[in-house]
Amino acid sequence: MMIVMREGASDEQIAHVVDRVEQVGCSAHVSRGELLTVIGAIGDRDRVSGLGLEGVEGVDHLVPITKPYKLASSQFRKGERTVVEVDGRRIGGDHFGLIAGPCTVESREQTIDVGRVVAAAGATMFRGGAYKPRTSPYSFHGLGVEGLRLLAEAKQETGLPTVTELMDARDVADVVEVADVIQIGARNMQNYTLLSEAGRTGLPVLLKRGLSATLDELLMASEYVLKEGNPNVLLCERGIRTYESAYRFTLDLLAIPALKELTHLPVLVDPSHATGRRDWVEPMSLAAAAAGADGIIVEVHNDPEHAICDGPQQLRSSQFADYAAKVRSIVEIAGKEYSAV
């Protein structure tokens, strides 16, 4: 942490800051410039942050030098990349995964139908929501335990590993019976209770970036899972909130190379929620693959006009095979191996 003193800070003020830094067991290096004095505080970042030096007299501002996350940082694994493996499917490093399925589990027929289609087209995993976070308390909130049961049936039928969302820590026992990967939604990215619970299940966790979360905050959220001894976190960019109202969210694909520099964790993209529109899903999927994403999670429905939820953003199952083939051709150019069994 660098502590930048105000112009004209007194020797006394500088000495006071040095004192406080040393009191928490860190060392302080003072550099006096012509105009400004900067104090480098070396040691545990959290201890120095905890001092609240921003409000102390003579201090102008603090500049963090190291990142606040540890287990998620590239340095922690010395440059080696995490590869999440589920039933022989791999995501991360050189491996690209395509996770597909309906937004919400609505019925046996819909779930099995879509499952068969995406399995036949070579999807890496199957996704489907039994619990749905909804902005309105009056909207459909998912089939719950009955939805989990249908997911189990689809898994039996297709052999694909299942990705499904956990919304409430009290549902964790039900969810782990079916899920191969637990999804944490964007609105829960900073629901720390839920992150810790998901971490403790030992299952891989697909963590969506919050609507206005910085990359640092996303990585700090992943740290809540990792610190439970669970090394398998899949990060997922799903569009951020900006001033632009021409689309639901702004898909931030620059997050892909940026995250790959900061962390060893795999980086996925969700083009369905970002765009909210079926016809924008394909160009954004190809762009994500070209930018080096480790995977895509995409919504597919057998009858999107009658979907209970988010119909307009779900690919038609009839177009999925063609879509998946295009994604694979870009994945190859990007130098990755498409993961399917």
Which residues in the 115-174 window bind a copy of itself by CB under 8 A?
Answer: 133-140, 167-170
Residue among 52 and 159 whose Cβ is closer to a copy of itself: 52
User: What CA–CA distance (Å, rounded) separates 56 from 305?
Assistant: 60
Among 25, 52, 159, 229, binds a copy of itself (CB under 8 A): 52
If binding is defined by CB under 8 A, does position 217 make contact with a copy of itself? yes
In which element (H, E) is residue 59 found? strand 59-63
Place of tokens 């999440």: 84
Shortest distance, position 233 Cβ to a copy of itself, whole Å: 13
Among 257, 321, 322, 341, binds a copy of itself (CB under 8 A): 257
Residue among 158 and 313 whose Cβ is closer to a copy of itself: 313
Among 121, 182, 274, 340, binds a copy of itself (CB under 8 A): 274
Shortest distance, position 43 Cβ to a copy of itself, whole Å: 8
If binding is defined by CB under 8 A, does position 55 make contact with a copy of itself? yes
For 115-182, give the DSSP string. Answer: HHHHHHTT-SEEE-BSS---SSTTS----THHHHHHHHHHHHHH---EEEE---GGGHHHHHTT-SEE
> Which window, 65-73, 84-92, 118-126, 151-159, contacts a copy of itself (CB under 8 A)?
65-73
User: What CA–CA distance (Å, rounded) separates 282 from 302?
Assistant: 17
In which element (H, E) is residue 271 found? helix 271-275
Q: Which of residues 221-250 bind a copy of itself (CB under 8 A)?
A: 223-224, 227, 240-247, 250
Residue among 38 and 152 whose Cβ is closer to a copy of itself: 38
Please provide residue 290's backbone torsions phi and psi, each rounded to the nearest 5 degrees: -65, -30
Q: Which of residues 280-339 bind a copy of itself (CB under 8 A)?
A: 280, 283-284, 286-292, 304-305, 307-313, 326, 329-330, 333-334
Q: Are strands 37-42 and 2-5 parallel, antiparallel or unpaired?
A: antiparallel
Q: Which of residues 189-208 bind a copy of itself (CB under 8 A)?
A: 190-193, 196
Q: What is the token pair recorded at 309?
A: 């939820």
Residue 126, strand partner residues = 100, 162
Residue among 298 and 309 whose Cβ is closer to a copy of itself: 309
**Interface size with a copy of itself, residues (CB under 8 A):** 105
Amino acid at 234: L
